[in-house]
Structure 1
Amino acid sequence: MRSAKYKAIITGAQRAMPVVLGYVPIGFAYGVLAGKSGISEMNTFAMSLLLFAGSAQFIAVGLFAAGAGPAAIILTTFIVNLRHLLMAASLAPFLSRWKRSTQAFFAFELTDETFALHSTKAASLETCTLEALSLNVTAQSAWVFGGVLGILAAGLIDDIRPLGLDYALSAMFIGLLVGQCLDFIRLLTAIIAGIVATTLYLLGLEQLYVIVASVISATIGLGVEQWIKQKSS
Structure 2
Amino acid sequence: MGTTALRSASSHFREGIQAGLSIAIGYFPIALTFGLLAKTTGLSMSETVLMSMIVYAGASQYIALNLISLGTGVFEIVLTTFIVNIRHFLMTTSLSQKVEQDSLWAKITYAFGITDETFSVIATKEGKVTTGYVFGVVGISYCSWVFFSGVGHLFGAGLPQTLQESMSVALYAMFVGLLVPSLKGSKKVAFLAVTAAAFNSIFTLSGLLSTGWAIVAATLLSATLVEWIEWVKKKGGANDGD
Query: Would you say same fold, with TM above 0.5?
Result: yes
Query: Root-mean-square deviation (CA), in Å?
Result: 3.3
1:169 to 1:119, Cα distance in 2 relative to 1, 3 A: farther
Whether the 8 Å contact between 2:28 and 2:144 is mirrored in structure 1 is: yes
Tell me, in whole angstroms, the C-alpha distance in 1 between the residues paired with 2:176 and 2:22: 11
Whether the 8 Å contact between 1:26 and 1:169 is mirrored in structure 2 is: no
Shift of 1:195: 3.4
- Aligned-residue sequence identity (percent) comes to 28
Whether the 8 Å contact between 2:28 and 2:148 is mirrored in structure 1 is: yes
Query: Partner residue of 1:70?
Result: 74
Report the residue type matching 1:108 in the other structure.
Answer: F
Whether the 8 Å contact between 2:16 and 2:134 is mirrored in structure 1 is: yes
Tell me, in whole angstroms, the C-alpha distance in 1 between the residues paired with 2:192 and 2:37: 28
Shift of 1:109: 0.6
Query: Partner residue of 1:195?
Result: 187
TM-score, length-scaled by structure 1: 0.72
Match of 2:48 among 41, 44, 47: 44
TM-score, length-scaled by structure 2: 0.70
Whether the 8 Å contact between 1:12 and 1:134 is mirrored in structure 2 is: yes
Match of 2:90 among 86, 90, 100: 86
Q: How many residue pairs are counted as aligned between the two chains?
A: 196
Alignment of 1:146-157 (within 5 A): 146-155=148-157, 156=159, 157=163
Alignment of 1:19-58 (within 5 A): 19-58=23-62
Tell me, in whole angstroms, the C-alpha distance in 1 between the residues paired with 2:223 and 2:78: 19
Query: Partner residue of 1:115?
Result: 119
Query: Partner residue of 1:135?
Result: 137
1:210 to 1:87, Cα distance in 2 relative to 1, 3 A: farther
The one-character-per-residue Cα deviations of 1:164-195 (angstroms, maximum 9, x if unpaired) are 99569959xx8xxxxxxxxxxxxxxx999633
